[in-house]
Amino acid sequence: DIIRTIRDPEKPNTLEELEVVTESCVEVHEIGEDEYLVTIRFTPTVPHCSLATLIGLCLRIKLQRCLPFRHKLEIYISEGTHSTEEDINKQINDKERVAAAMENPNLREIVEQCVAEPD
């Protein structure tokens, strides 16, 4: 429910409407007392999607802000669905790269627009 309202950076649709994320792409496993591993596998609309990293960043930021429990978060592109999936997976799961990206005012503004709750 948390990620279904994230908007695509280029289109007026949500990631769910574009089938970039679906309920079946989310896994939650308990890894300790009151601690969970949340794994998201998203599917870009095209194998060369230039905004796949930005979509992964939006997923991470929204979940970090909204999950009501302690968690470890792993976000991946669905295997075989993007031409540079390995590089993007490294980027969106690297805390320092995520922090650096969110320090960029232009990038942060785009992320904020994508993760804002609809009126």
Kindly report, residue by residue over 58-107, the tens digit of the pLDDT.
Answer: 999 999 999 988 999 999 999 999 999 999 999 999 999 999 999 999 99
Beta bridge pairs of residue 26? 40
Q: Where are the domains of the chain?
A: 23-112
Q: In this model, does residue 8 exceed pLDDT 90?
A: yes
Cβ 42 vs Cβ 56: under 8 Å: yes
What's the whole-model pTM score?
0.93
CB atoms within 10 A of CB 108: 14
* Three-state DSSP class for residue 39: strand
Of the candidates 43, 14, 44, which has an alpha carbon nearest to the alpha carbon of residue 26?
43
Alpha-carbon torsion (6, 11, 16, 17), positive or negative: positive
Picking from 23, 29, 90, the residue whose alpha carbon sits closest to that of residue 57 is 90
For position 118, what pLDDT does the model report?
A: 79
Which residues contact residue 72 at a Cβ distance below 8 angstroms, ignoring those fewer than 6 apart?
Answer: 31, 35, 36, 37, 38
Residue 119 pLDDT grade (very low, low, confident, very high; cuts 50, 70, 90): confident
Q: Which CATH class is domain 23-112?
A: alpha beta
> Could you read off the pLDDT of 26-60 as tens digits, one per residue?
999 999 998 999 999 999 999 998 999 999 999 99
Count how many residues are written for the chain: 119
